A and B are shown apart, each in its own frame.
Chain A
Amino acid sequence: MKDKYPSGQKENKQKENIKLGSPSLFGLLRGYMGIIILLVVLTVVANGLSISVPKIISGTIDDYAKGNFIITNLIIEFSIIAALIFIFTYLQNIVQVYASERVARDLRNEISAKISVQPYSYIEKITPAKLLTNLTSDVDAIKTFVSVAVSSIISSIFLIVGVAILLLIIDWKLALSVLVIMPFIGGAFFFILKKVRKLFIKSQEAIDWLNKVISESILGSALIRLLNSQKHEDKKFLAANIEAKKVSLEILGLFSSLIPVITFFTNLATLIIVLLGGSFVIQGSMTLGSFTAFNSYLAILIFPIIILGFVSNLIAQASASYGRILNVLSAPVEKKTGGFGAVLKGDVEVKNVTVSFGDKLAIKDVSFSVKAGSKTAIIGPTAAGKTQLLYLLTGLLDPTSGKILFDGVDVNEYSKKSLHGQVGFVFQDSAMFNLTLRENIAFSNTVKDKDIEKAIKTAELKDYIDSLPQKLDTIVSERGNSLSGGQKQRIMLARALAINPKILLLDDFTSRVDTNTEKNILTNIQKNYPNLTLISVTQKISSIEHYDQIILLMEGELLAKGTHKQLLKNSPEYVQIFDSQRSTNELELKNEKI
């Protein structure tokens, strides 16, 4: 990913997105036409009512001057309008909230649905952190757009046009001289906002930085305390915080000149009304009521211009966010898997498989086959590609070239449901969910209790679970903090066994489980799942000596395959590994005699 886009190109790409994003931002609303129209109507009505207030006031003053003022009329008229304004403003606000939250909710669901049809490699490429941003702050930006921008644009345009017309009707000469001020205000606004927008991007970067330091300090809290490096973390945070402060002060610098300047221009308009309007009234070409109305309308006119400026900012932010979201939504779903759904026998064949990440080869032309019901071990040093090999077998990773066959049929022919329902995978690192133990094991509502029971027994978890007050309904706290490494490992084994797999993949399963438990578990598996094909990545030769096949992997290459005896004869690398574990073997042999 990082090599694919040099930074300049990336920026261009982002810009393109913004350009492309702007029209579709409104396109996003197409599915919500009903509610948006309702929002528009409510906004127009609420604003229409509120600009009639100065008109009533000026009418009243003129009526009084003319001597035909009736107080009850005023009270009735005014009260009705005030009540209507209240009702429509509140309704408008509520509809606004409702519409924006609905758009946000639907968008989140859409993103999550899209993510859920993507292969694992996609998530890795995009990185979970970015997806998290998409689902949270990007959606929030769009939510703000819908809740604030939509009605603000409508009401601002309505008010500007409406008030301008009213002013022109009252006195076109005075109106024109007041309206002359408007372009200046607009100009000042757009000039400064253009600068501010760049700073906003910088400010978001600073906040991302802050958040990164916070997140790491939380996730790495144990390490930081062990190394007493709190001061160092404080310094890292301080650097990010200073940057955030710096950018926000720059933004302040721009805004602090903007608002006074706009106020000043508005005041100039007031001055024009006083001077020009005053002379009109003196000449008798304008009534005192109209003069009052002009002053009141001026206040109404300025506000929407300011609002429009801010809204243009919101739109820019939302467009950028929507561009990012569209990237996720429009990403092609990499090849559909086939619909083949036969019951697996368990034959596996890996044929000339190569995997490369960029120009780095992770797996180099690896071939081997595994017979149904047999046991195969994969051993090799760190970073040999063992885990990747297991990922290939589950379809988490696609081979760059070569084929993987189950029962002679290409892995891509199988439907995901069929494949994942028959291949159980115990991952190396613990993945625990903040759910009950039952849900962590069954991981769905469809797995039968009987199967869970069998899986728990096999994974030697029964005693542990029975010792818990809430048994299977105990909630596992996030990241499984309440569990030991071995317990997590065994829960993950139970998870894989609960689907009654035909093929079981173990990734370094024994590393966190003690020897005794490990032995029992392997015996249990043999007993309870007799025809299971087992492929196990491991470090420990002693537990795989009797396996049907051992595959030795080193730096992505298959160095040797065969039984323990064969490898001892013809693979020096294997012998080296074997020797390194010898002392333990002897001890365990001794122990067996006891």
Chain B
Amino acid sequence: MNYSLAKTDIEKETQKGVLTTAWRRLVPLMSEERRPVIISIIAILASSAVSLVVPIIIAHIVDTYIVGKNFNGVLMFSGLLTIIFIAGLFSNYIQIITMGGVGRRLLFNLRNKIFVKLQELPVAFFNQNKSGDLISRINNDTDKLNQFFSQALMQFMSNIILIIGTAIFIVFINFWLGIIALIPAIIALIATQLLNPWVKKTSLKSLRTLGNMSAEIQESINNFKVIVAFNRLDYFRNRFKEVNQENYSASVSAGVASNVFNPIYVLASSLAQLAVLAYGIYLISLGNFTVGLLIGFLLYVNNFYSPLRQLASVWSSLQLALAGLDRISEVLALESNIKIMPKDCETAKITSDHASAILEFKNVSFGYVDGTDVLRGINFALEKGKTYALVGPTGGGKTTTASLMARLYDPSRGDIFLEGRNIQCYLPEERAKKIGFILQEPFLFNGTVRENILYGNGDYDHYTNDELVKMLEEANLTKLLERFSDGLDTKIVSSGDAISLGQKQLVAFIRATLRNPDILILDEATANIDTVTEQLLGEIIDQLPAKTTKVVIAHRLNTIADADEIFFVNAGKITPAGSMEHALEMLLHGKRKS
């Protein structure tokens, strides 16, 4: 399955209007927020009503009392205004606090959704996407959404209501004057629609160059020692300059594009005021309108255009949020191809040939998305409690074989059986219990040694350090712990060289053996550990329960000397080597692919 995210291109981005897209994307998210949304809409309506009614009252004051020189009337209506203002104060507060709450909860749920989805996706997804790009994509996009949901969304909602309300109001006060006031807005909206694809395209490009830049920075900084040791700092600097320049150009074009809206709406607002003024005075001269109403009308025009302008200014953040939402939906839409299918299992046509085997490969083929075949028609069975070694030249397919055993991937053809049952039928937790896999490149979390060896293992969480040490003692693991200056509490910073690769492998080793798996796969797991410690590891492995099946991948032959059976993996084939001598011969004289 293709999980590559980079391939989705800009042209594919939705051609539909922003509002419809926003509607389509946001409404389903809000389904659980019906009550607060309704409350805040009522509050928005109330505060909009306040904004709408005030100019009318002022117009009335001007026309009736100021022009009529009646100060008592002014006083009376000012009292009314005060009451309205206080009502506005409360509705405004309710509106912000409920709508803001909705936005933040939406963001919270969306973030959770993304993360849960990320956890559901298989390893292939992470191998096909640059991790730097992925991290920046997820972090940046959620950040854009954060800005949108915590700031823009509220403005967006209340402005839309205010705009619509005002439009209705002015058309009611005076139909033609209202229409004239709205025409510039309609022109501006059309212009927005026309300019929209340009803005969206440029801002997507700018987001993408930002992703590239942060990937470049990460790569360079993480590999800094190589760059220093090869005296290629100039090269690093130039490459950075290049991506920086690219991001700069893209951001400037995005800025030029997205900043076009504000001036357009300012222009529309000026034109509307001019039109209202000119036509309004004409109406007054005909005796159909009053000066007070004109002043009020001009305030309405302001009431209509200034939220429109604000909308234009949050427009770009809405677009960015939607672009981010698009990219996130892309991830959310991905489905894991590592499915659990217990139903098919009961009625499986293909069954295991070796019921007693702990693990069996039956006609297994595997290829990566780019089309390269790694394994072709593989058959073998592993017996309980025995030790197996996979040898072969680098790039021959050893790690792929091991990954298939742990179901990090599914075979493209054929079946794998774990204790006679198709491995695809196992629930992930059952499978994880049975299979321990020490990866070639151990990954440690930032934290302590304790946290790392107990990672993913709930059994000992409540143990105190002393109890844990006792436990490790029983499993012969304490000697390994001596390699860490502060024992269980040794701090681990996963990046950087504070901890050596050998030490990382030790942690990974303790982590895996502590789980007592039925099958323990060691993929070059001790490659960077000295031979004395390795011997110790060998002893520890020997003392594992007799039922534990061991699968060892190693270049150093002493680690596989005790193997019950040796498989030679090369050029898509796995052949039993028989004896150690034979395996060596194959290694030395066998036709190498890589």
Contact = CB atoms under 8 A, between A and B. Distances in A.
Given A221-B123, A433-B223, A479-B131, A274 B104 contact: no
A101 B395 contact: no
Nearest to B92: A260
Contact of B223 (A94, A395, A431, A464): A431
Contacts of A516: 393, 587-588, 592
Interface string A96-135: 1110111011001100110111011001100111011001
A82 B271 contact: yes
Contact of B456 (A50, A83, A224, A539): A224
15 contacts: A124-B496, A128-B218, A214-B115, A216-B494, A228-B432, A259-B96, A395-B228, A396-B229, A428-B500, A434-B130, A463-B592, A482-B370, A487-B395, A515-B557, A577-B530
Contacts of B193: none
Contacts of A421: 231
B207 interface: no
Interface string A54-90: 0001001100110001010011001101110111011
B465 interface: no
B96 A271 contact: no
A256 B263 CA distance: 29
A421 B231 CA distance: 7
Those 5 A-B pairs whose CB atoms lie nearest each other, nearest first: A486-B394, A97-B255, A227-B456, A420-B231, A228-B432
A394 interface: yes
A379 interface: yes
A581 B558 CA distance: 6
B391 interface: yes
A131 B495 CA distance: 13
Interface in B433-471: 435-437, 439-441, 443, 445-446, 455-457
Contacts of A423: 229
Nearest to A464: B594
B298 A109 contact: no
Given A74-B278, A252-B150, A279 B131 contact: no
Contacts of A245: 104-105, 107-108
B131 A219 contact: yes
Contacts of A94: 255-256, 259
A391 to B, nearest CB: 8
Nearest to B100: A252
B130 A478 contact: yes
Interface stretch (A165-173, A232-240, A316-324, A524-532): A232-240
Interface in A237-288: 237-238, 241-242, 244-245, 248-249, 251-253, 255-257, 259-261, 263-264, 267-268, 270-271, 274-275, 278-279, 281-282, 288
A584 B557 contact: yes
A318 B144 CA distance: 18
Contact of B232 (A249, A428, A444): A444
A417 B235 CA distance: 13
Interface string B199-241: 0000000000000011101110111111111111111110011
**Chain B interface secondary structure, helix, strand, loop or mixed?**
helix
Interface residues of A, number: 181
Interface stretch (A10-18, A289-297, A325-333, A450-458): A289-297
Interface stretch (B9-17, B21-29, B54-62, B417-425): B54-62
**Chain A interface secondary structure, helix, strand, loop or mixed?**
helix
Nearest to B254: A97
B256 to A, nearest CB: 6
A570 interface: no
B278 A260 contact: no
A395 B231 CA distance: 11
B97 A256 contact: yes
Nearest to B584: A591
A563 interface: no
Nearest to A385: B500
B180 interface: no
Q: Most chain-A Cβ atoms within 10 A of its Cβ — which of B406, B455, B555?
A: B555
B350 interface: no
B555 A128 contact: no
Contact of B432 (A226, A430, A478): A226
B360 interface: no
A353 interface: no
B135 A218 contact: yes
Contact of B132 (A242, A259, A478, A484): A478
A57 B277 CA distance: 7
